[in-house]
Homo-oligomer: A and B are copies of this chain.
Amino acid sequence: MIQGDPLKNIRVVLTQPSHPGNIGAAARAMKTMGLQALYLVNPRHFPHDEADRRAAGALDVLEKAQVCDSLAQALSGCVLAVATSARQRGLRHEVKSAREAAGALLSAAATHPVALVFGNETSGLSNEEASLCQLWAYVPANAGFSSLNLAAAVQIFAYELRMAVSDGVLPQAPECAPATLEQVEQLYRHFEQTMTHTGFLDPSSPNGFLNTVSKWPPK
């Protein structure tokens, strides 16, 4: 269990970033707002001179960055993962604005790691990656041109997290220990096996049923 500054418990996860400049700019954006934990899932180019250059005074964030083979690995130990997108998605997750999501992340970060997940610059998050997240969050933007640069999106979310701290959104210790995402996934697999075994679920036509179950935090 990690205690102290809740911003230290917030991971920024970039999945398959294409442009090393965006990785460096994201590191700089994070550090300006007090975030430190950068996770990179299969970056196309990293380490890279362009990442170092754009990081400016935030080289320490790049040097400590965790490079992972999968999003599941980057989320290991987290109790909440928030997927970011400019688009509404087919998956019926709960959707919050960046400002609302910052409050949810901060509250959960009191005692455990949480993650803010960004997709590839062009293709975003795959449905499989999205299914590992419990909330969706978006930056309110011009409907005619909502294409934020990746690092610019990181900057806005990081800024809202810092503003939430200064606005007094105090992290609340949960009444009971929250489950990690691995534990939640295990529960879903148990559901799936039981429902299949009893004939409730047809595994050849699941209709996305299990994608709609995940909601965090529990009511």
Contacts and interface: CB of A to CB of B under 8 A. Distances in A.
Contacts of A149: 25, 28-29, 54, 56, 151
Given A149-B25, A159-B156, A142 B32 contact: yes
B140 A163 contact: yes
Interface string A88-123: 000000000001000000000000000000000000
A57 interface: yes
A126 interface: no
B163 A99 contact: yes
Given A152-B155, A155-B156, A142 B25 contact: no
A24 B139 CA distance: 20
A89 B141 CA distance: 32
Interface residues of A, number: 29
Contacts of A205: none
A33 interface: yes
A140 B162 contact: yes
Nearest to A61: B145
A58 interface: yes
Interface of A: 25, 28-29, 31-34, 54, 56-58, 99, 139-142, 145-149, 151-152, 155-156, 159, 162-163, 166
